[in-house]
Amino acid sequence: MFEKFKLAAQAMSPASIKRGIELSKQSMANGGQLTEEQMAGWKPEQRAQYEAQMQQARESMAANADQMIEAERARRVLWGPAGDYLYGPMPDRERLTDISFRSQWEASKAEFMDTLRNPLGRKAPPPPPPTPGVSADRDGQHAHERAQRDEARTPYLAPDRSPVVMTRLALDRKNHVQDLATWLGTAGLAARPDLVYGLYRVPDHVVGKWGINRAGVVEWEVVHAAAPGMPAAPPAYGAVFHARERWAARRPGEPSILDEDLGLDYLRAADLGPEQCLGIARVPEVEASSGSAEGGSDPYVVIGVTGLVVLHPSGRGAGVAARMETQKPLQVLPAPDVHIAVLNWGDIRRVVAPRPDKRFLVPSPFPYLPSTGAELLESYLAIVGVQPSDCYGAQVTIDQPSNILGGSAHVTSTSAESETAADGKSRKRFRGGSRVVVAYRDSPEYGAGRERWAAYERDVLQASLSHRVAIREPVDRQSALDRGVLGTLVRTAEAVGSFVDGEYGDEPLKDLPHYRYCWPPIQ
């Protein structure tokens, strides 16, 4: 016992403590590893065991670093300057694999100070990086940036591409699908579906004169390759499918369907190919409220896909939709000869048009990225070389419901910047849209076109636009908290940045399921 006390006293002596501190400093200076002096007198097998343990630690850190970096790559849609701005810099592999105690301590200290500055882990987004303009005029500056993007796109264009013309229409908010079918006839396009890529309901909320609660008009965009002056034709025919109805038979765990899968099922049943199709279009619906001044609810502009419409020349497909109605739920499998491209426009929009109540930024902080979803859609068609006679649909649209007003990172306001609508009137507008969807009959030529598109994405856009688009995700058993639009908003708030803290007076888009057309699952 006396010897133990003696040894303890020696260990606590000033000389021993000083020696221990000196050895610790030497170890830190050596990257956290033991020095040769500290290992003096070790047997060869002890040194070999130590080196093996250090090598194992280095390999483990390298594997963990690679796993973290790969997970971050899978999460990111944008790279380069826009990616660093939106998500922060990529993980530093050198730091993650540095076994040095000193560098790890410095990094941990920096992270701790950041936590003290932001205890809730939530930061307001930094202002976008400034871009020097070449013109004080907004339109002139935008034209300059667009010309530069067009020039950068030129080497990737398909040699035999068709023209892409976009015609925007302002239609009655109650009868917009019927009015669209009538316009297609009046314009002569209903008789020439081989000249139409597709059409889509513009995913914006154009405010009416009575405030945010009601739309003034509903806009549709027709994407085509036709010249003006075609003879009029009968109105187009539209088959409508509602997302709240169970059209597809799915068990829990089985893949859900894309809206376009159901539209293609209808066209196959009607024996109609893409050259006879005017467009498969998701139909978003908006429900908006200015909130309650008495503290009952927050303002919102919730948009969600409530169904789809398939438009084609009249006189074809008679009775097919009614027959499908009697046979549902249907199998609804992906068409083997059709390619459906789904591009993540939403993350680009977050950096080029971060405020839904404002127009896109000019000058653009990232002028190499498209300013609108329509520009991205046009680029895809022109680079892949999709012909309108092969195209079933071309859309700027959405996937899951979202609140256009944005989350806590934005100023929640019921006011919006005015913009000239398709009817020529200046109207306030809340801008939405998160996906670009193109469905077309596939061919080897289009496979080569997609290789060009992949190179354009990588080299020019610095993006991976197929990331985080949730194509045919497995049908899951929804809990009570998951049901309806509010459950979807809560579940996807981090991904789309669209949930507004607070309470809604009445649930918007009530009973709209997360898994459209295949809910509830069959047992």
**What confidence tens digit (pLDDT) does each residue in 341-350 have?**
999 999 999 9
pLDDT at 515 over 50: yes
pLDDT at 497 over 60: no
Residue 111 and residue 148 in one domain: no
Mean pLDDT, rounded, for 291-307:
83
pLDDT at 200 over 90: yes
pLDDT band at 135 (very low <50, low <70, confident <90, very high): confident
Residue 279 and residue 381 in one domain: yes
Residue 103 and residue 154 in one domain: no
pLDDT at 490 over 70: no
In a domain, 8, yes or no: no
pLDDT band at 418 (very low <50, low <70, confident <90, very high): very high
**What's the rounded Cα separation, in Å, for the pair 499 and 487?**
10
Least confident of 46-55, 292-301, 409-418: 409-418
In a domain, 508, yes or no: no
Residue 412 and residue 486 in one domain: yes
pLDDT at 216 over 50: yes
State residue 486's pLDDT score.
52
Mean pLDDT (the chain, rounded): 84
**pLDDT exceeding 90 applies to what percent of the chain?**
62
Which residues are within 8 A (CB) of 111 and not within 5 positions of it... i.e. 6 or more apart? Answer: none
pLDDT band at 51 (very low <50, low <70, confident <90, very high): confident
pLDDT at 113 over 90: no
**What's the rounded Cα separation, in Å, for the pair 126 and 311?**
44
> What domain count does the chain have?
2
518 vs 210, residue with greater confidence: 518
pLDDT at 510 over 50: yes
pLDDT band at 63 (very low <50, low <70, confident <90, very high): confident
State residue 493's pLDDT score.
41
CA–chain centroid gap for 58, Å, is 37
- Greatest mean pLDDT among 175-179, 417-421, 479-483: 175-179
Residue 457 and residue 357 in one domain: yes
Residue 301 and residue 258 in one domain: yes
- Greatest mean pLDDT among 17-26, 94-103, 284-293: 284-293
Mean pLDDT, rounded, for 494-500:
36
With beta carbons less than 8 A apart as the criterion, state whether 388 and 195 touch: yes
Q: How far is CA 395 from CA 199, 223, 345, in A?
A: 6, 8, 11
**What's the rounded Cα separation, in Å, for the pair 36 and 282?**
70
Residue 203 and residue 319 in one domain: yes
pLDDT at 441 over 90: yes
pLDDT at 162 over 80: yes
128 vs 221, residue with greater confidence: 221
189 vs 8, residue with greater confidence: 189
Residue 283 and residue 400 in one domain: yes
With beta carbons less than 8 A apart as the criterion, state whether 433 and 496 touch: no
Residue 106 and residue 172 in one domain: no
pLDDT at 514 over 80: yes
479 vs 191, residue with greater confidence: 191
Helix axes of 444-456 and 373-384: crossing angle, nearest 10 degrees? 130
In a domain, 516, yes or no: no
pLDDT band at 160 (very low <50, low <70, confident <90, very high): very high
Q: What is the pTM of this model?
A: 0.81
In a domain, 349, yes or no: yes
* Per-position DSSP letters for 135-189, written without gaps between them: -SSHHHHHHHHHHHHHHHHGGGS-TTPPP-EEEEEEE-SSSHHHHHHHHHHHTTG
Domain interval for residue 398: 144-496
In a domain, 447, yes or no: yes
Residue 65 and residue 213 in one domain: no
pLDDT band at 120 (very low <50, low <70, confident <90, very high): very low
State residue 461's pLDDT score.
98
Residue 63 and residue 153 in one domain: no
State residue 69's pLDDT score.
65
In a domain, 131, yes or no: no
Residue 70 and residue 181 in one domain: no
Mean pLDDT, rounded, for 58-78:
76
In a domain, 50, yes or no: yes
pLDDT at 306 over 70: yes
**What's the rounded Cα separation, in Å, for the pair 236 and 308?**
15
In a domain, 514, yes or no: no
State residue 307's pLDDT score.
98
